[in-house]
Structure 1
């Protein structure tokens, strides 16, 4: 007997329970493919069990998976006689061999129970509540996902096949009376070791399945008996062997799997969980321990699994309670608590179906079949979606069905996670008003953006249509909506035509609304999606070519297959240097004869050598930009070499020679130099041409007589507009032999003398009315710094070698103006400093002239000694 075929037949038989057509199909299925009638008892008794797979809901790990068996035991034909009714006559004293294991002494002592013990029926109520602490923990771990149910795997062996004595409704001996739980009594073995042992000794004893913490292995077809618990129980019960575990967590997982498997088998055979009655020779009850078989039916003296359960403080009744939980969880069908039609929209021809349902296993899905025709040719299955309030809502679109004058038949199917389902028919729904259906859209000319919307429309109940209108648009706010009005016709078929140019050449996506109104002003509307155009911007060719011989001018081109929807073409161009900071957009010019767009690219707009990128963009008539191509071209750089000559650095100069490998392409060469980290003293030198290239002489006088380290770069401007640069290596100018004139000017209004080495500063003061008194002294370019500070209140300047004096004045509000010049370290030519205690401004005077100093002292000035030293 093929169990997979049986399962499929059962599923089919529950399909569309309330449809007369489908009820008839159900009856045909039951009469031809139900498990009780698919195979005769005599035919089955000599048939080997076959491997198969049973699928269940994805949320239940009970999908029974066939695995390859390596057992090749010989099938034994069962010798039996049969009555005219087909039932085998087997004497009650028939002896069946049973030696599945050798129980331990502890097992034998612990499993002995008295008649009547562990027999109270714990399965009276289907409203499950766990009373056992261990059961509560197992259920908690299972429901939070910590404990995972094992998959039921089929690995059927070729053990002897014999029928149960329990008759089903058709008189076939195809199902057991219940299930007996055993345990292996071997804590050192595994499920695979137990199965291997049974393969070798099956002719003495065998069971239907083995279960441990991670596996459920079914090794014998449950539709046939097994030699598991003596001559009586073997003919009436399935047998399941629980593998022993040495820790409580593994034990809990294993009995969870075992309870789940037994619940599934009870459901398979149409049985419900119940305990034995506790009466001798009474085979009622569907969940038995091996000990209860020994006590009430006989034929065996084993007491498992009582002792094994007791090791973990567990009992057989608690186990039956756990089976009841699994049975309720995975076997019972959902309950539809309410189902109703609501929100009937006569205009849109829609209505909703709201359903509330519960299921112990959880609701897998709610399906709502709707149809109008007698043969259900227009049936549509609507899948209801879960709402925030826990209900399920299906939205029915009557326009998907054939008739509008016919009532709409509505059924509801609730499917649990255990794949059990419940069906409920609802009252028919009647719709009125005009009807729009069979709406289709078609693109008639993609290149021009032309499309049509076709549909059927009619007035219901012998009324007539008055107005038919079709709106189409492609913008979210419907700003570009276009309307086509059609006249009613006898055929009831209509087509409205549209063209993209009336929508600003929009490519879409387009939306539409069809609206019809009858003579009683009842109307119907249908909205939907129109086409999205893929206008032809196919590129035939694109590229870049050089128009010059010196890499100064290039041309980008783009040839399109069709320019009908093209507004313009733009070429984006930039070089690899510094990202896209030189990005330029060049508009293309169209050659209509060749359908080619082109643009000239002057390299002078970018001023870089190296790799260039060109991206081609089409601007559509709808205003969108589309990237359609990309190219590159290269402007070859020149090589720049520099030579540094610092032999005159003591004189404050350095000579820089510049050479290129393509002098003919060079337009100019500049050398930009500055003292390192002092950009305010930078100076740009225009080179002179020599026989060896170009030359620049760096002089510290152009840099405020700053000595020390210099840095810079060479800038070569080429005739093609490209600017090439090369960084100079740092170089030093000592300037030890350089001296500079210190200019002296006098303010006749304030009496102040001012000193500076900057000729520009001196000239500006003379323009303001200061008197030029010529050169005060000659200062060195290198030496001890003389600091210059300024009093913003009096307008006076002060000069000092002493940094402490400078800092004190700054604290008093004077402004630090840095180093004014340097004092000679040779100390041969002193400058004297005198102070006028009566003056408010110009209170200090500095001079090399000792006679001048003495004269001022005679007039009351104070001699403050040597201020600093000059070179001369």
Structure 2
């Protein structure tokens, strides 16, 4: 309501005069300060750098280029703008209320007072003199308004009657009573400005130099000329009259307006109006070349308000496709450097542009600082060298070489013009070799030109990456074509016929072919061989079969058609070896074969005596002594030490046709007397108290070959306890057998031991080893116990079923774990755990298939890995189930020994071998019981076939009681399905 009354009163000239005479200024920072009707027009001057860089905000740069492309910098135009509050006007107002803190109330009125800061004197209107108000005793007070700029230290003082102004709101104004006078105010020069301002970095410092009275506070209204007063901010002066302005609050360069106001006793007084210029940064730049393709851009005179420098660089080639923004590194106060490599710009040559941008702490964004003059990239390295190599007057080819390196200019392309002088340039050819490692090379063949004896001109044009082209005349080269030569040499080697072409007419040997065939059976063995790039080829013996003359025809296919070059022959003679046989000693003869053809890769010598046909034939592999000599050694031991005539034939493995051919039949040799000695027979490990000894029979270098060994031992005069020990297991010429009193019913006494040796020649020799006392006591016969063996065929057997078996005399179970190297019994885990829960002793078996030692080891490893995974300890009895027929394909004893050694190595040493009785050597089989010990065998033999044999009967029969166990039936009825049932002789499988 009060605001509307006063607005109406403003129409009165008296009241207008009174308010214009007042020095009170509105201090409410929420009130817009606008110019009076007499506002002075000010010119907004665009600020430009030394290089005319526009004042660019960060957002403009980011939106325009997103730092990916550099836009040309533009200059601001000079535009005149009207500033809403300028350096020559200050708002004044009267406040009628104040809050508890003395702050100006937001509802105060505003008026305007024009105070010129640009004149030495000022005429003040009569309305500015005084206003007399009827029925009011006026009191006067004076208010002082000072107006100064940076360039003007003059002040003017205006005195008005404030009592009259304070009563305007209620008084009836009589305009006729207003008397006006004109007072001329003159300005006086002072020594120091009332308000001073300075700029350092992004800080504007303002200092009020007047006296601040008690209870008085000062505020500075600060804004830039740009965009009216959109950045107006009020700042409080400190007790010393100073304020420090962070220019980032205003984000502008150029002219800043600073108005100073006093606030005291609820009154606001305008004290001063001034401007200060925040100058845009004016940097200097310098660009130097540090090395070929590398430049350093130095930016100096960078103010503290610039926190970082970015330098966009691009070449003039293809617009800004290679633009790269470099972050400059500060190297000192106000100095930054950026290193530019043209390698980042496709190594373009020519002119490069470089602009300078800075991150301003004032604007808070990226601003343009400078446009440099750029730089020129010119390759200063030397040119590549150009030369002709491999030239000789009598050669029809030569090479042109352009050699560059990293130290020379980069070659872009090479063009080589070559022609002969005769008939001008009718045979001109341009060669454009590939550039590799900054070099190029091409072979010039006169066959591609006139192909005549002539002078050949060579010009080379080299284009470089810097855009330059260099032409060089390498000169004229006389070439005199030699007499055509196409010589072919053929040589017999160990692998075939080596062919070599020496030609002065062929330029590309890889287009040459050799046709090779023998006279034998026409051209049935004709083969074409491709020449190598050096003109060589090998006609392999395996591709041909005949003896005699071989034809070799050579052709060139350079023109796409066959051109005959040469025809030659070579002869491959039939084998015609020579042999000699010499006696080395009574039992040894040596055969020497000489003149063996180079195409024979091995020699074999079958040797046999005339006694009993070829029963002793032995094929010797001769040893190669040199390229044509082989030798072989014949030992009579390999031929039963036969007397009489011996036959020796010579065979060779021929590469020619890849066939085994007879080379010679020698005269042989005759043996009149032989001196074979007896084998070595020893007795070891003799222990009379244990009743054991070991008989070992070994061949010597002069003894016959062992075939079968038998040992007979007995103590009773009637030989009633005679036992035969036998073996055919001959290893490295040695066999062993162990004589044990237990096989003689533990009868103590002196044992006679005889050895009978069957030799490979069919003869037999017997040896009496003498008498040995055995005094071992028969061990106490333990109570027989019984066990079963099960596999996946038996499925899951419950704990109650195992308890049922236990009640029927079964105290152990052998569970199948594995087979081969991949099968595992899927029921093994439950079968083991249930048996253990029922109190049965658990052992494990593996079904073997191995045929080699390596396979045996692999199966042992698999067996152990599964046993460990099922928690079976190393003390578990581990059984090798040997019944797969294919095991007999290999050396079953050697392979089983390898299985045993691997099991032992893996920590499982309690080993038993399960097999059928027919597989044991004591029953005519191949499995050596002496090698592994009879007490370690578990023998399967169903004496009742597939009719159940009960435990008591099995016990009374006591088959294989010297073994670890006997499997006597596979049809035990102790569960609802048939079971294998066994008697345990050693207690290893049962409790």
Shorter-chain TM range is: under 0.3
Q: Which has the larger radius of gyration?
A: 2
TM-score normalised by the chain length of structure 2:
0.23
Write 1 or 2 for the structure with the bigger share of strand: 2
Structure with greater contact order relative to length (CA < 8 Å, sep ≥ 6): 1
Q: What TM-score, normalized to structure 1?
A: 0.25
